[in-house]
Each structure stands twice: as structure tokens, then as C-alpha cells.
Amino acid sequence: MMARLTALVLKTLTLALKNQTFTIKHGPAKGMKRRYGPGFKPNQSLSKEEQYLMELDLKGKTIYDIGSYVGIYTLFFARAVGSKGRVIAVEPNPQNYDELLSNIRLNHLDNVTAVSTAIGNSCGETTLAIDPVYPSRGFLATSRELSSSHSTQTIPVQVISLDSLVQDRHLPPPDFIKLDVEGVEIDAIHGMEETMHRYKPALFIEFHYEMTPLVQLLHAQGYNTYYIETATMITRENIPDVTWGHLFCT
């Protein structure tokens, strides 16, 4: 009952504010515009990952924003890389992708290319599970058990490996990849091994799964791993027992 009521309230707010435009007041994209955003959101301190990203020198880089949601980080990246840089924003959720396109247009960004697809280790079709209460939240159905607390909606989406995305669509190779794929990080990394080997992009990964296999895979690919939440270099001897956080890998 509570879930249905929450969904109804959120749907009503979405319809009421859908075409409203707000200026982002806080965070990495401060000063830029977004459609249907919390313009009333109180001031919040920067998270550790936001602080870390904002301190990087990204000017002139080609950045792949994998799992770009509605594009808040995309906006930040577009400004950070400047006119000589480029951002490839990738988002599989159709609702989020629509908001992403709107936010790109609102800010007149001509250095951003948006792509509607999931990223994995193969090419074809997969299932995206959508939370009916928060439809902007989604995950590939194979990445975790479907929620038992309420009925999860599913939709088919295209999936492609990053290696194929770069090659088949003739996109510029990445200098930097932000990866936020809600639990399928290892699949996504397996699908970008050629890109990693050839171009050695820096990686900024939000992980939603046990850290150990992810770090082991990254080390096998020749990457150093830095755990942002504890400001610690991770080696095979000191991998923490955590299932969420952010890694910066070079």
C-alpha cells in the first residue's frame, strides 16, 4: 500500500514538474541547467567521489560516461573537458535517456554524444529491470535478484560491449571512463578489454558488488586501484570487505 502511494505521489510530481527547468545549485554541475530537477534541494556538502572528480584535470579529454543517468555528471564532464574535449554519454533506461537528451539541449552542449544502450561483455538484447516506485532506477535483470518487495517492471534494451561501441560506431577512443552500471561492472570490464589494452584509459568505477573479484580483474589488466572512500591504494593484500564504493584506476 505504501509503495503504491509513494509511486502515485512521485508520478504526480513528475507530471507537474516535467517541463520545469532548474539551475543546479550545488555539486559538480553547479550553475548548469536541468529539466525536472529538485530546484528546492537544500545545500549539501560534496561527496568524496564528487570532490575527487572535480580535482582531476580533464581538459581536452575524451570521456565516456557509462551509466549517465539523466546526465548530471555528463554536464560536469562537458564543461570540464572544454571545447577541445568530447563526452560520450551512455544510458539504457529510456526515461533517463530522454532526460539526458533534454539536459544536453538545455545547456547547448555540442561536445556531447548520447547513446541509448546498455554496456556489457557481448552484443544483443538484454532485460532492464525498472523499479515501479522510482522508474529512473534500473538494473540489468541478470545482475541481481529481482526485488521481492514489489512488482518489478522489465523492458528489453540493447546491450553492446564498449569495444564494439568504439569500433563499430567510429567513436574516438576514451582517455577516461566513468562506469556506473549497477552491479555488472565485471561484465562491462570484460567487454572493454581491448580498449583498455590499446588505449589504457583512466577508470572511475562505482561498484555495487564485492570488491575482491573486481580489483583482481583490474590488476590482471595492469591497472592500479585507488579506493576513494578511504583514500587508499588497494593491493591484493589489503582488499577491504565492502560491496559499494568508488575506485580510480590508472
pLDDT tens figures, 132-172: 777 788 888 754 555 444 568 899 999 999 999 999 999 99
What pLDDT sits at residue 132? 78
Q: What is the pLDDT of residue 40?
A: 52
**What pLDDT is stored for residue 222 in this prediction?**
98
Residue 204 bridge partners (DSSP): 178, 248
Look at phi and psi of residue 67 and say left if phi exceeds 0, alpha if psi is from -120 to 50, else beta: left
Model confidence over 188-207: pLDDT tens digits? 999 999 999 999 999 999 99
**Strand ranges inside the chain, DSSP E:** 21-23, 33-35, 62-66, 86-90, 112-115, 118-120, 124-130, 138-140, 153-161, 176-179, 202-207, 225-227, 232-234, 245-249
If we measure between CA atoms, which residue out of 87, 94, 49, 96 comes closest to residue 69?
A: 96
**What topology is assigned to 2-118+161-249 in CATH?**
Rossmann fold (3.40.50)
Distance CA 250, CA 248 (A): 7
Is residue 146 classed as helix, strand or coil in its secondary structure? coil
- Residue 234 phi/psi, 5-degree rounding, is -100, 125
Domain ranges for the chain: 2-118+161-249
Provide the grid cell at 143: 545482475
Determine the pLDDT at residue 149: 43
What is the 8-class DSSP label of residue 141? G
What contacts 185, CB < 8 A, 6 or more positions away?
Answer: 179, 205, 207, 208, 209, 214
For the chain, which residues score pLDDT lower than 50? 143, 147-149
The CA angle 120-185-217, to the nearest 5 degrees, is 105
Q: Specify the pLDDT at position 181.
A: 96
Closest CA to 192 of 178, 206, 208: 178
Distance CA 23, CA 192 (A): 35
